[in-house]
Structure 1
Amino acid sequence: MAVRAATFRSVLAVGEFRAIWLAELLSQAGDQLARVALSVLVYQRTNSAALTGLTFALTYLPTMLGGLLLSGLGDRFPRRTVLVVSDLVRAVLVAAMAIPGVPLWLLCVLLTVVVMANGPFKAAQLALLPDVLDEQRYVVGLAVRNVTVQSSQVAGFAGGGLLVSLLNPHVALALDAATFVLSALIIRLGVRWRAAAMSGKEPVRLTAFGLVWRDPRLRLIALVSWLSLFYIAPESLAAPYAAELGLGALAVGLIMASHPVGSIVGAYVYTRYVSESNRLRSLGLMGIAAGIPLVFCAFRPALATSMILFGLTGAFSTAYTLQCAATATRLLPDSGRAQGIGLLATAALTAQGIGALLAGVLADLSGASLAVAISGAMGVAAAIPLTAAWARHVHTAGPLT
């Protein structure tokens, strides 16, 4: 009963969290708008689908590098300062991208640095949340963030396309820069300053890899996070999957939206109706459950059924993702929290990139629907031993403090 008292409303009632949430909502909306604007801008200037695809990839891939190299800034410096500076840096760079006539090579360089800055921002933000929310509200706070991000993905591309069609792409990029300025202002005024978790004179005793590797539970959490390697298949194969069903672009969008819609529902149900102790015990089981719906794609179900299956995978994968983040936060020392969280988030993102590539190769050999089914089966096979290992640690290692 005590856990159920932590609701979305009670989390949003916390002023500092509300500021962090609103700032992220603004920057997410701006980012979605910028992705559409950049795709349109690059294609208008080059008429090249390959360069347009490369530009879109640059809106994601450098986050890995930023997460690995820069996430420790959230431990070395006050986390509010890292958030504000990251936002202002991105605002300046995106404003430069909005200038008409910027050479394409410079546009790509600026975009790479902008996306790299997302690494330390995300690490510092997630490391700050346990200071803002008590333990009971923390997982629910993560769910609120997840719902916000997934909702922006569902609506962002369509809304971004409409805005870019009404506005010049350069104006859309300028609006993105403005969202970063507003985000920095909201965080600066709405979040209390806290000293850095690690003293500037304190030597770095452990790298992010060392922080994760020394604790077997953190190692397991990292491996469970890597299950996204298998479960990214429906999104990455949306176009060929729709083509196998004899459907067009609308079906591609619906397939891609199925996972985030399921994620929104899963985040709400998991945090609202599952107790903290059961969430902890079920971490591995959610990894198994996420793969099972994909196996049924071997029968090439109709679009509506496929969307339900993909939504279920989104719901279950979000459940274990939220619990992985919450548990890792408790296990990591405060002085290395941003660095450790940054590594885990980067690892999960890397897994998605690798998984998308492998799913494409597999689909060329077997067809999209069978590739999705095989990916789901492989995910289940990988999750079973991880679930058994996690169950042993939960029963033998004591409280996660």
Structure 2
Amino acid sequence: MTTASPPHTAPTPRTTYRQVLAEPRFRLLFLTRMLGVIADSLRITTFSALVFAGTGSALLSALAFGAGFLPQLFGSLLLGSLADRLPPRALIAGGYLLEGVAAALLALVRMPIAAGLAVVSVVALATPVFSGASGQLVARWLNGDAYVLGRSLNNMASSGAQLFGLTLGGAAVAAVGPHAALAVGAALHLLCAAAVRLRLPRLAAQPTDGNPPGGGALRKSLRGTGALLGHRPVRRLLFAQWLPSAFVAGAEGLIVAYAGSHHFPSGSYAVLMACLPVGMLLGDLVVGRWLRPAARERMVVPLIVLMGLPLVGFAGDPGRPLSVVLLLLAGCGFANGLGLQREFLAALPERGQGQAFGLLGSGNMTVQGLGPVCVGAFAAVSGTGGAMALAGLGALLTAAWILTWRRTPEREPSADLEASAQA
């Protein structure tokens, strides 16, 4: 008599990018996001060039560039709860509509520089609400590893679309002038708004225990942000995603000065600037496509090390070819964020995820705006290469900090965090 062998359990099949893109609702959000990032890059660079052409001031031009990023943190703090309290289709379509109207105003109305900066700042203030609503839908429609790959696709789309948008911006300004280029960006945003309004299913806002969706938005946003930052697992996961990006952005802000101080050939800075987003594309593709979920999560610290260690190499003042390699490697390290996505989502309350995703994005934009200011302050003392190396050291210290964590990815959100999200 033979003994039957135990049934063999087949390994869980690996999720693929094709399967993620087969979800039509995610595909719509993905494509409109890609168009939106192209339009954003076109608007930001063109408006900055327009301000410089009108004033000759590098400071005002830089302020025009940064006006689309820095106000986002205040928008998340003051308005973030609306991402969970209003219907997501209306929010996302309204966001693209607002961006389209803003670009159209900049293109068609000859306004003072201060008024133009105010228009861009208002859009940035509202951005966390729209992006939070979109992030909440992605988390709702994609489960498990599909969610992580969805985030990977969004990262790659943002990097590629940003590169294309910057290139398109320069070409459009040269070919048709800044005002017509802004009109092109406005048309792209309006196209996204129409696609979301017509193709995205109508979904109700999350229940809020009988409270009216619009009441007390400021109070609820501040309370929700305080609860998120006061909950240790969420707080540390936010900073784990913010800090490495801030340090690398600080080094990125010195690339032009580094190329100039080392007398690289004309135009070299543009090649060096492109290395980080190209590396981001490659890193997300490799880590998202070929590594399994557990491997991605084990690679978080090594990938943050990969962000920082090449930047430390700039202390030796490498030449142009080696600088290209170092920046490409640093860009690949950005894929560390894929290994944090499941843990971050598990740490969030069921309600209030939209505000959390808005805070993640707005905080990231803010620290990437502050990074070049902080790192640049050291360049006067240590030189550009030394300051870039210092930024790399900051990323390495972040990796060491993450190693000290007690990894508890399955921990449930605390009662006060859940209660605040529902309040």
Superposition TM-score, scaled by structure 2 size: 0.87
Match for residue 38 of structure 1 among 47, 52, 62? 47
Q: Tell me, in whole angstroms, the C-alpha distance in 2 between the residues paired with 1:161 and 1:2.
A: 49
Match for residue 259 of structure 1 among 276, 287, 291? 276
Instruction: Say whether residues 1:331 and 2:367 are aligned partners.
Output: no
Q: What is the one-letter code of the residue matched to 1:373?
A: A
Instruction: Say whether residues 1:362 and 2:378 are aligned partners.
Output: yes
Instruction: Say whether residues 1:19 and 2:28 are aligned partners.
Output: yes
Instruction: Say whether residues 1:183 and 2:192 are aligned partners.
Output: yes
SS at match of 1:125: helix
Conserved 8 A contact 2:296-2:338: no
Conserved 8 A contact 2:84-2:206: yes
Q: What is the one-letter code of the residue matched to 2:272?
A: I
Query: How far 1:381 sits from its partner (Å)?
Result: 2.2
Q: List alignment gaps of at least 5 residues for structure 2.
A: 1-9, 414-423
Structure 2 equivalent of residue 270 of structure 1: 287
Query: How far 1:85 sits from its partner (Å)?
Result: 1.4
Q: What is the one-letter code of the residue matched to 1:154?
A: L
Q: Tell me, in whole angstroms, the C-alpha distance in 2 between the residues paired with 1:283 and 1:175.
A: 39
Match for residue 239 of structure 2 among 223, 234, 237? 223
Match for residue 383 of structure 1 among 399, 402, 405? 399
Conserved 8 A contact 1:239-1:249: no
Q: List alignment gaps of at least 5 residues for structure 1.
A: none
Structure 1 equivalent of residue 307 of structure 2: 290
Structure 2 equivalent of residue 152 of structure 1: 161
Q: What is the one-letter code of the residue matched to 1:210?
A: A
Q: Tell me, in whole angstroms, the C-alpha distance in 2 between the residues paired with 1:355 and 1:378.
A: 11
Q: Tell me, in whole angstroms, the C-alpha distance in 1 between the residues paired with 2:38 and 2:270.
A: 18
Q: Tell me, in whole angstroms, the C-alpha distance in 1 between the residues paired with 2:99 and 2:176.
A: 21
Query: How far 1:322 sits from its partner (Å)?
Result: 3.0
Structure 1 equivalent of residue 251 of structure 2: 234
Say which one has the larger Rg.
2
Query: How far 1:262 sits from its partner (Å)?
Result: 0.5
Conserved 8 A contact 2:64-2:117: yes
Q: Tell me, in whole angstroms, the C-alpha distance in 2 between the residues paired with 1:244 and 1:92.
A: 41
SS at match of 1:98: helix
Q: Tell me, in whole angstroms, the C-alpha distance in 2 between the residues paired with 1:313 and 1:20.
A: 28
Residue-by-residue CA offset, 1:196-216 (whole Å, 9 max, x unaligned): 1242734859512312422x3
Query: How far 1:398 sits from its partner (Å)?
Result: 4.0
Conserved 8 A contact 1:297-1:373: yes
Conserved 8 A contact 2:28-2:200: yes
Matched residues, percent identical? 29
SS at match of 1:246: coil
Conserved 8 A contact 2:254-2:376: yes
Conserved 8 A contact 2:314-2:386: yes
Match for residue 390 of structure 2 among 361, 374, 387? 374
Q: Tell me, in whole angstroms, the C-alpha distance in 2 between the residues paired with 1:82 and 1:342.
A: 13
Residue-by-residue CA offset, 1:17-61 (whole Å, 9 max, x unaligned): 111011111111111221232123222322222222211121222
Query: How far 1:2 sits from its partner (Å)?
Result: 6.3
Give me the CA root mean square deviation.
Answer: 2.2
Instruction: Give the 3 Å change call, closer, same or farther, for CA 170–4 of structure 1 in structure 2.
Output: farther
Structure 1 equivalent of residue 127 of structure 2: 118
Q: Tell me, in whole angstroms, the C-alpha distance in 2 between the residues paired with 1:70 and 1:319.
A: 29
Q: Tell me, in whole angstroms, the C-alpha distance in 2 between the residues paired with 1:183 and 1:3.
A: 36
Structure 2 equivalent of residue 208 of structure 1: 225
SS at match of 2:404: helix
Query: How far 1:248 sits from its partner (Å)?
Result: 4.6
Conserved 8 A contact 1:236-1:356: yes
Figure out how many residues of one structure are paired with residues of the other and give that number. Answer: 395
Q: Tell me, in whole angstroms, the C-alpha distance in 2 between the residues paired with 1:110 and 1:295.
A: 39
Superposition TM-score, scaled by structure 1 size: 0.91
Counterpart mapping for 1:84-163 below 5 A: 84-163=93-172
Conserved 8 A contact 1:65-1:116: yes
Instruction: Give the 3 Å change call, closer, same or farther, for CA 212–193 of structure 1 in structure 2.
Output: farther
Q: What is the one-letter code of the residue matched to 1:282?
A: M
Structure 2 equivalent of residue 7 of structure 1: 16
Conserved 8 A contact 2:306-2:332: no
Query: How far 1:276 sits from its partner (Å)?
Result: 0.9
Structure 2 equivalent of residue 81 of structure 1: 90
Instruction: Give the 3 Å change call, closer, same or farther, for CA 223–85 of structure 1 in structure 2.
Output: same
Conserved 8 A contact 2:288-2:338: no
Q: What is the one-letter code of the residue matched to 2:240?
A: V
Instruction: Give the 3 Å change call, closer, same or farther, for CA 201–94 of structure 1 in structure 2.
Output: farther
Instruction: Say whether residues 1:315 and 2:315 are aligned partners.
Output: no
Instruction: Say whether residues 1:393 and 2:407 are aligned partners.
Output: yes
Conserved 8 A contact 1:218-1:328: yes
Instruction: Say whether residues 1:341 and 2:357 are aligned partners.
Output: yes
Q: Tell me, in whole angstroms, the C-alpha distance in 1 between the residues paired with 2:116 and 2:146.
A: 41
Conserved 8 A contact 1:211-1:340: yes
Conserved 8 A contact 1:283-1:387: no
Q: Tell me, in whole angstroms, the C-alpha distance in 2 between the residues paired with 1:80 and 1:324.
A: 27
SS at match of 2:111: coil
Query: How far 1:150 sits from its partner (Å)?
Result: 0.6
Q: What is the one-letter code of the residue matched to 2:407?
A: H
Query: How far 1:128 sits from its partner (Å)?
Result: 1.1
